[in-house]
Structure 1
Amino acid sequence: MKVGIAGITGKFARRLLTHLLEPSNPTLTIKGYCRDPSKLPDFLRSSPQLELIQGDAFNTELIASFVKDCDVVVCCYLGDDKLMLDGQKLLIDACEAANVPRYVASDWALDYTKLELGQLFVKDPMLHIKAYLETKKVVKGVHILVGGFMEPIFSPFFGIVDAQANAFKYWGEGDEVLEGTTYSDAARYTASVVLDPEATGLLKFLGGRTTIKELAKSYEKVYGVPVTLEKRGSLDDLYKTMHELRAKEPQNIYSYMSMFFYYYWANGQTVLGPELDNARYPDVKPVDWEGFMSLWSREQLGTAFFSLGQIGLNLILEWPFALYNLNN
């Protein structure tokens, strides 16, 4: 099997590549497309199973060369609407022309198919790309949903967990269902999907479900410290606040974007369940919210997301052969 990965140097793509290059897949070959191959760690870049093509997202000639002979193409782009819409459409068109059977869209999100255009505006490109793929005759779309990524949920971006003060700050009642999966587990499921020629359409995988109140109890259990719960307001208050901030300073997207994510993550509209596809790949054993916290010290929990771009001990432990390649 030949797998194409567009945007192969990104955080998620690195994880996916690591899992695809496990010793259990010795005959797999991978074509990677990116602007700067040097951003890949040496032990990945030097793999004999990997071919790298350097180019930008809008070079139609290079993209056609990249997708040629692939059995599946995975898009790991992450950027503005032009990249996520026009960039993906170029990839999809190239796949259609080259008779590539499957295209894994750059999703890995909550269930955006239940959203209306403009609600969680940063997910609008996903709706457009899903509809675009449905117009194609050859290439079939693959859309992987995972809830929220656990790592950024604990980061300062969301402002939910203050590890220094052992405080959880939340909107709503604290008993809203929150779904999440780690980057690594989402990548493991994606690798399984990539290797499964029959996997097409909408696929839902999940590490765990929790609530803010349950998450606080897990935090107390894992770290052995009491937690303070601070309610910021109702979900209606959140809705009003986030729209007021956006109307006041639309260009200051970081002042309100996390609020939009929180609202549509917690209001029940984008819940994946109850039917999931975890059982389709029983070899993948995802960690739940408490399991994720147990992987990190309390002091490091808020930096878990930022460590994804680094090749450190965790990655070496996940792929034993990395240590060999780093030392040879």
Structure 2
Amino acid sequence: MAELRTNQPGTTAAEKPIIVLAGSTGDLGRLIAKYLLARGAVVRALVRKGNTKPEVQALRELGASVVEVDFNSVIELTQVCAGAVCVVSALSGLRDVIFDTQKRLLDAAVVAGVPRFIPSDYSIDYTKLANGSNRNLDLRREFNQRLDQAPITATSVLNGMFTDLLTGQAPVVLFSLKRVMYYGDADQPMDFTTTDNTAEFTAAAALDPTTPRYLRVAGEVATIRGVQKAASEATGQQFGLLRVGGVWVLGAMIKATKALMPPSDDVFPPWQGMQYMHNMFTGLPKLQPLDNARYPDIRWTPIREVLATRK
């Protein structure tokens, strides 16, 4: 295992809270590292052995202490967790990652005496959804059931949908058609939070020993009509609405898409995104109450500002 270093001249790990961060090379993980460092933490960014991606060097340049570790070894993970005040996971994957790898990380945190653990949730409120309605969220529910049995304080950050996806990846704001597509009720409130805001809030929560089991935030709560207004304001062009049908139509499309697609290990196949939108359009996983005011220094980015960044 690599030597643990703070990369902060003139300081030692004993003078600053240590946060162990898994999934640090992803977009969300890198931003969590940035905000943790800005708040004065020492960040031990865990990466797989032999990882030479540019994101690893970017973490070093931020000031994180990059530690190569075997994620299959609870012993190595326990060593790297020693002295930490919180373990934060931003891991992404299927069951082998969300349950198996996170369980090893959890076991290591418990053995090392880490007081707090933040799992890789960052989603709508999956606790309100039935099993089978969303594969990726089912995995998070399964892991959190195990987490609740562990002798460690856990906090899940729930942020709705990443607002950034509205710029193209999520087929909601159809820029070429100047339409906002939806199923069901155009007045159903939904939660949207940017990746950046989610990371900033998670960093603050990681350094806050008083967090509850769940923290719920929304950079903006908006209906489809609200998204339509934001798109019109952001582009200076009038957007209309495109209702495809009831929520049940989307549910039927999901079943058909899954049946027609061959099995794969893709974390985000087309039907997975459709499941997420289906969940949101039902209104079942709406976040409430919201904890936006918990860290008043965070400025929440509205949908309009995000849509305005699209080229």
Q: How do residues 55-74 of structure 1 correspond to structure 2 at under 5 angstroms?
A: 55-74=69-88
Instruction: Return the alpha-carbon distance in structure 2 between the equivalents of residues 7 and 121 of structure 1.
Output: 20
Q: How far does the alpha carbon of each residue in 1:17-54 deviate from its partner, in whole angstroms, 9 at most, with x for none?
A: 111122x52xx21111012264336454045x532111
Can you give the 5+ residue segments of structure 1 that lack an aligned partner in the other structure? 300-328
Can you give the 5+ residue segments of structure 2 that lack an aligned partner in the other structure? 1-16
Equivalent residue, structure 1, for 2:30:
14
Instruction: Return the alpha-carbon distance in structure 2 between the equivalents of residues 121 and 20 of structure 1.
Output: 30
Q: TM-score, with normalisation over the residues of structure 2? A: 0.87
Equivalent residue, structure 1, for 2:274:
259
Equivalent residue, structure 2, for 1:285:
299
Taking only the aligned residue pairs, the percentage that are identical comes to: 24
More divergent stretch after superposition (221-230 vs 3-12): 221-230
Aligned mate of 2:102, from 81, 84, 88:
88
Structure 1 letter corresponding to 2:25: T
Instruction: Return the alpha-carbon distance in structure 2 between the equivalents of residues 58 and 129 of structure 1.
Output: 17
- 3-state DSSP of counterpart to 1:222: helix
The structural deviation recorded for 1:92 is 0.5
Equivalent residue, structure 1, for 2:171:
159
Q: How do residues 307-322 of structure 1 correspond to structure 2 at under 5 angstroms?
A: none
- Pair 1:40 & 2:55 matched: yes
- Pair 1:188 & 2:200 matched: yes
More divergent stretch after superposition (248-257 vs 259-268): 248-257
The structural deviation recorded for 1:290 is 2.1
The structural deviation recorded for 1:198 is 1.4
Residues 59, 66 of structure 2: 8 Å contact kept = no
Q: How far does the alpha carbon of each residue in 1:128-152 deviate from its partner, in whole angstroms, 9 at most, with x for none?
A: 1211111112x11110000111112
Residues 85, 125 of structure 1: 8 Å contact kept = yes
The structural deviation recorded for 1:78 is 0.3
Equivalent residue, structure 2, for 1:218:
230
Report how many residues are paired: 290
Q: How far does the alpha carbon of each residue in 1:116-175 deviate from its partner, in whole angstroms, 9 at most, with x for none?
A: 2211121111111211111112x111100001111123323x222222232222212322
Instruction: Return the alpha-carbon distance in structure 2 between the equivalents of residues 250 and 268 of structure 1.
Output: 30
Instruction: Return the alpha-carbon distance in structure 2 between the equivalents of residues 92 and 110 of structure 1.
Output: 22
Structure 2 letter corresponding to 1:189: F
Q: How far does the alpha carbon of each residue in 1:227-286 deviate from its partner, in whole angstroms, 9 at most, with x for none?
A: 23222111111112212222333526723222111110110110002x111111111111
The structural deviation recorded for 1:62 is 2.1
Residues 74, 107 of structure 2: 8 Å contact kept = no
CA RMSD of aligned residues (A): 1.8
Residues 173, 231 of structure 2: 8 Å contact kept = no
Aligned mate of 1:100, from 114, 126, 141:
114
Instruction: Return the alpha-carbon distance in structure 2 between the equivalents of residues 56 and 160 of structure 1.
Output: 40
Residues 209, 289 of structure 1: 8 Å contact kept = no
Instruction: Return the alpha-carbon distance in structure 1 between the equivalents of residues 162 and 58 of structure 2.
Output: 26
- 3-state DSSP of counterpart to 1:198: coil
Q: TM-score, with normalisation over the residues of structure 1? A: 0.83
- Pair 1:270 & 2:285 matched: yes
Instruction: Return the alpha-carbon distance in structure 1 between the equivalents of residues 52 and 293 of structure 2.
Output: 35
The structural deviation recorded for 1:75 is 0.7
